Structure 1
Amino acid sequence: MSRPGKDAYGKKHGDSIRVFRDIHKGERCFVLGNGPSLCQVDATMLAGEYTLVTNLFIKTEAAKTFSPTYYCMSDYTHWQGGRGFVPSLLEAMPSLTQTTFFLESEAEAVVNATPEFAGLDIRYLYLEYEDTSVLEHGVHAQVHEFVRWGRTVIADFCLPLARYMGFNEIYLLGCDYNWTDKPVTQDSFSSIKYAYDPAEDDRHLFRIKEYRTMHDNGNMIETLVANVYAVADAFSKQGCTVYNAGQGGNLAQLPTVEFDSLFPQGRRSA
């Protein structure tokens, strides 16, 4: 699916992203992946927090307990490469009127043709994924210009956005990166583990057929994790710490913190 180039994107959407620069300076936020460990978190505690959620978060039990601040999607399988958003996302739109969406700019035409998105706060980021990965070239701090491909929405959208917004404590939940170590095929898709039933992942027929493979040297998980580490390391030099507040998973090199310890006085007021 075609999209405008970076210059055209910047002229059209740059200002809509610039308004988020340092909007949460000095605050903390929670970035939620959809790994199985998310099921072990008391998500009701997040109701008064700044949250960035991802992909099919709306299918998790956690989605029933709070309204996310930001919703990020960089993977084109969610809008099926231009064929339309998957049904589970469309069904969720009426419940997300207080949420700001950050989508890859390629999705704009599909959003404009989708009535369910009318009236929602949709912002677009330009994902530069041709030979410009985070791991190889570092984080591009000016996200209003473009973001580099992190091979996971956590590394290319969520973390750069959170830093751009001024957060200096970023807590990861459900970012397990242990969902499969096999190529994405009909046989291996059933082994993918999420915080929801993978059989309900209505992207899978499109993904199996057309997924852009990420198996560098045969190990996708190591590559995804390395991109997250690269972002976290860059942020640590700026006085911003990325913590793993989940249980288990493959982010062992990040500093860890017990989720419950972050709420010594109970849940914050929403």
Structure 2
Amino acid sequence: MSKFDVKDRLDNVLYRAYNLLSDVLFNLSADLKKIVSGNSIFENIHEGERCFILGTGPSLNGLEEAELSVVNENVVFGVNSLYKSRVGKLVAPRYYTLVDNLYWGSWSGAFADVLEVYKSSPPVFITDPRARHILAATTDAQAALYVHAKKYPVARVDSDLSRNVFATMNVVSNSILAAIYLGFKEIYLLGCDYNAFCTQGHGHCYDDGHEVSQYEYSLAFYLKYYHLTTEFHYLIARLAMEKGVKVVNLTPGSLLDAYPRKSFQDCVQSW
């Protein structure tokens, strides 16, 4: 056994203990349990339907209006700063995922910005319970899915958002798990280029200069982050398979290999 295997085994023992403690603390918090159990109103409400999850990779800018029309015929998930992009203004997200700590901190205004862009049809937010006070102060906000994800994935993840779930460190991962909870049986990914470690965070479907300039990360950070999130995507892919959910990556040139990769046109023609 190599020293790397030894480290992994020791880490897994510690993480399992950590997860037990996390569940105990969750169960001791009546308020938190009430908030998260409220997600049950969303469980399987889209049973058997198809959805698109739009990341914010630069490949989204290659989508033509005819393709976006097809996307809009289905339920759309938006994430992060999608609303700032050309594509973001041509789609109508039913759900919008904001799960980074920044969104209930220095970027808390993003909730209001999203609602302003989509004021004719405000999306349901998928976010952390720590953002409740922000949405409570926003009269246009709909009921939200509040995801409490405090456990570390060790060999598995789950999609029961009415409980304390596993943190997956990636907004697309969170959106896929939410889509499974909502009952979708076909989940298609667009704009998931998955290559920010090659560009040190630069390169989105919108002008990202201001965002990236605020937070400078090293190559080591990106490689570690991508290693972890990729392992978690593999666990999500296995969960989806077990539940009979099809997850397909339609992003051209994407480096994310956890899910089958197809071209947009080939996929649509098979419907």
TM-score category, normalised to shorter length = 0.7 to 0.9
Q: Shift in Å at residue 265 of structure 1?
A: 9.8
Question: Which residue of structure 2 aligns with residue 125 of structure 1?
Answer: 146
User: Which residue matches 1:144?
Assistant: 162
Aligned to 1:94: 116
- Tell me how far apart the structure 1 counterparts of residues 166 and 81 of structure 2 sit (CA, whole Å): 22
Asked if structure 2 preserves the Cα contact closer than 8 Å seen for 1:225 and 1:250, the reply is no
Q: Shift of the alpha carbon at 1:104?
A: 0.9
The CA distance in 2 between the partners of 1:103 and 1:67, in whole Å, is 18
Other-structure match for 2:175: 158
CA deviations on 1:9-47 (whole Å, 9 max, x unpaired) are: 2213422x1121111111111111111111222323212
Partner of 1:11: 34
Q: Percent identity?
A: 23
Aligned to 2:96: 71
Identify the match of residue 174 of structure 1 among 191, 199, 218: 191
Residue number in structure 1 paired with 2:48: 26
Q: Measured at CA, do residues 7 and 228 of structure 1 come closer, stay the same or move farther in structure 2, by a change above 3 Å?
A: farther
Partner of 1:250: 255
Any gaps of 5 or more consecutive residues in structure 2? Answer: 1-24
Q: How many residues align?
A: 239
Cα pair 1:125 1:146 within 8 Å, conserved: no
Q: Matched residues in 2 for 1:34 and 1:238: separation? A: 27
Q: Is the 8 A contact 1:180 1:193 kept in 2?
A: no
Match of 1:51 in 2: 76
Match for residue 185 of structure 1? Answer: none
Which of the pair is proportionally richer in helix? 2
Contact in 2 for aligned 1:52/1:69 (Cα 8 Å): yes
- Aligned counterpart for 1:235 among listed residues 214, 234, 240: 240
* Deviation at residue 109 of structure 1 after TM alignment: 2.2
- In the TM superposition, what is the alpha-carbon distance from 1:108 to its structure 2 partner? 1.4
Q: Which residue of 1 aligns with 2:3?
A: none
| Contact persistence 1:171–1:244 (CA under 8 A) | yes
> 1:152 Cα shift?
0.3
TM-aligned CA deviation for residue 102 of structure 1:
1.3
Which range is displaced more, 22-31 or 92-101? 92-101
In the other structure, the counterpart of 2:134 is 110
- Tell me how far apart the structure 2 counterparts of residues 159 and 200 of structure 1 sit (CA, whole Å): 28
Determine the structure 2 residue equivalent to 1:192. Answer: 202
> Pairwise CA RMSD of aligned residues?
2.8
Q: TM-score, normalised by structure 1?
A: 0.78
Normalising by structure 2, what TM-score?
0.77
- Between structure 1 and structure 2, the one with the greater Rg is 2
Of structures 1 and 2, the one with the larger relative CO (CA 8 A, separation 6+) is 1
* Secondary structure of 1:180's aligned partner: helix
Per the TM alignment, residue 133 of structure 1 is displaced from its structure 2 partner at its CA by 2.5
CA contact (8 A) 1:181 1:220 kept: no
SS of aligned partner of 2:254: coil
Between 1:88-97 and 1:231-240, the stretch displaced more is: 88-97
Question: What CA distance in whole angstroms lies between the structure 1 residues aligned with 2:76 and 2:133?
Answer: 26
Relative distance call for 1:140 and 1:251 in structure 2 (3 A) is same
SS of structure 2 residue aligned to 1:247: coil
